[in-house]
Amino acid sequence: MGINNPASHIVINKHLRITKKYFDEIVLPAFNDLTSSISPVRKIYDIAGKTICMNFYSEKLLEKMSKAFAHIEKDSADTPDLTIYIWDSVSTKTHLASPWLNQEEYTYPGEVNAKTINLDSFLGIYLNGEETLNLYDEKNNTAYFWIYNADNLLYRVSASPLRSILNWFLSKEGVHLMHGAVIGFNGKSILLTAKGCSGKSTTALSCLFSGMDYLGDDYVAIKYSDVITTHCIFSSAKLSPQSLYGSFPALQDKIWNENGMEKENEKAIVFLMELYHRQIIRQAPLQAIMIPVIKNVEKTNIVQASKIQTMLSMIPYTLFQLSLTKSDKMAELKSIVERTPCYFLELGYDLNGAAETIKSFLTNGQ
Amino acid sequence: MSNKVYKINDSKAISETIDGETIIINLETGFYYSVNKTATVIWNEIKNSNSIKNISQIFLNHFEVDINTAEKSVSEIIGLFLKDDLILELDSDIFPNIREQQTGIMKEIFIIPRIEKYDDMAGALLADPIHDVNEDGWPNLK
């Protein structure tokens, strides 16, 4: 038998929600085989105050998935709050049978974005498009990430790895992974939230080049407590090649996926930790939420936005891009919006001017 | 005027209200909606399983509006909610239980209830072609 079952089973091209039965009957035995023959490389990270251990059984996945976490790596013997096991079948020469071999028992019918019912303290999803298996066993504080061939890991997954698993785990801890960019200055931070191609990443990078702090440009975490704080989870930047070459020539020779951009029709990815480590900060109190809007004006302006406009910019993308997000996340994100001043960031032509406007906003304590 | 009872389609729709306005998300289709203040009154009454007649009476009691405008507005919005599967019509009637309010209470200016629909998340969810794995087996797709 080959590495995988060669049967030509029909696959529905959508995300598949995976049952605990598949985890118990298929994944755990395969994982036990793996651990009997291979020792992992162990990395420890501090993610929003939680100690997360990642055990890499594939060198290629270590190379591709650890760069985004470089800013939060730590040496620690603490008992991890979560341990994630990461491997692929090809490089480890191990087998994992597909979850749809026994469709009725191993996958849930219906739409994965429907309201989550977490009966077994277990969440699992096979993500169509990136072809990865993501499993979270809440009771045992463990998670499993698998891809058939590490060579096929998409570059965009390298920019923000393990999104589903981290989203599930952090939600339980009152920390919300969400779609947005965060920049900081003067010990405070601003969440930029909007749909794709609205200027989030460009604004965040222009702020970085103006000397401001950077906490992420695509996915960030927000912790709801007495003081709402933003947390940098992925120290990567993702930009269209045109924006990068046009606006940030200093990054041209730092693109990590130069060979893959054309192949995957992907954005350019730059890992910022090695280049700007002093400006990559782990966390900061949230001062305001801003919705970037590209305007045909010279000067960037900050104007009041309503709470509902902010919710519309922030919530649908977060809920739909992070699979199996519990629907109560919407209420929790609403609480953050209720307590935080909200604005439109009307972006002018001059990128440096935009950064200076935001810097002035944070300095003057509005 | 109908006394049919409507309720939220909980299996598909989630919502939150903030500053009197509401965001509704249809988890199945990916469509999402912003709902103004008067349409939010309708949505919140449907949360309590109410009828067009009762909701119209609530508008008459609290807003400067005539009965025809109130009933037409409520009917239209409920029609839109029904069309997009955000609410369900129950197979039962209720007796009108909202009474006309005594005069002398300051009423609010009536703003026509409106909902705005956004479809930019729907494309990703609707793509659902079927394909085979390739000769290397799962999960190598053709």
Q: What is the rounded CA–CA span in Å between residue A21 and residue A140? A: 16
Contacts of B79 (CB under 8 A, 6+ apart): none
Nearest to A10 among B14, B121, B130 (CB): B130
pLDDT in tens, B21-58: 999 998 888 899 999 999 999 999 999 889 999 999 99
- The pLDDT, as a whole number, for residue A8 is 30
Nearest to B30 among A8, A10, A320 (CB): A320
Q: What is the mean pLDDT of residues B6-34?
A: 92
Nearest to A311 among B16, B131, B139 (CB): B16
Is A258 in contact with A187 (CB distance < 8 Å)? Answer: no
Interface test with chain B among A102, A145, A149, A311, by most B beta carbons within 10 Å: A311
ipTM over 0.85: no
Interface test with chain B among A101, A112, A320, by most B beta carbons within 10 Å: A320
Report residue B95 as tokens.
């007796």
Q: What is the rounded CA–CA span in Å between residue B60 and residue A136? A: 52
Helix B52-62 / helix B37-47 crossing angle, nearest 10 deg: 130
Decide: residue B64, CB within 10 A, 0-12 exposed, 13-18 middle, 19+ buried: exposed
Contacts of A7 in chain B (CB under 8 A): 137
Is A13 in contact with A130 (CB distance < 8 Å)? Answer: no
Q: What is the mean pLDDT of residues B62-74?
A: 95
Is the C-alpha dihedral spanning A100, A104, A107, A109 positive or negative? positive
Taking an 8 Å cut-off on Cβ atoms, the answer to whether B136 and A2 are in contact is: yes
Q: Please name the residue of chain A whose CA is at the shortest distance from the CA of residue B136.
A: A6
- Spell out the per-residue pLDDT of chain A, length 366, in tens: 334 443 333 344 567 888 889 999 999 999 999 999 999 999 999 999 999 999 999 999 999 999 999 999 998 777 999 999 999 999 999 989 877 766 678 877 665 544 444 556 888 888 888 889 999 999 999 999 999 999 999 988 999 999 999 998 998 888 999 999 999 999 999 999 987 667 888 999 999 999 999 999 999 999 999 999 999 999 999 888 888 888 898 898 899 987 766 665 678 899 999 889 999 999 999 999 999 998 888 899 999 999 999 999 998 888 877 777 666 778 889 999 999 999 999 998 887 788 999 999 999 865
Is A340 in contact with A286 (CB distance < 8 Å)? Answer: yes
Residue B98, pLDDT > 70, answer no
Closest to A72 in 3D by CA, of A235, A211, A219, A183: A235
- The pLDDT, as a whole number, for residue A239 is 86
Is A86 in contact with A53 (CB distance < 8 Å)? Answer: no
Taking an 8 Å cut-off on Cβ atoms, the answer to whether A11 and B124 are in contact is: no
Taking an 8 Å cut-off on Cβ atoms, the answer to whether A307 and B131 are in contact is: no
Residue pairs spanning A and B at CB distance below 8 A: 107
**For chain A, how many helices (H) and strands (E)?**
13, 19
- In this structure, the strands spanning A82-88 and A50-56 are parallel
Taking an 8 Å cut-off on Cβ atoms, the answer to whether B25 and A14 are in contact is: no
Q: What is the mean pLDDT of residues B137-142?
A: 39
More confident residue, B122 or B95: B122
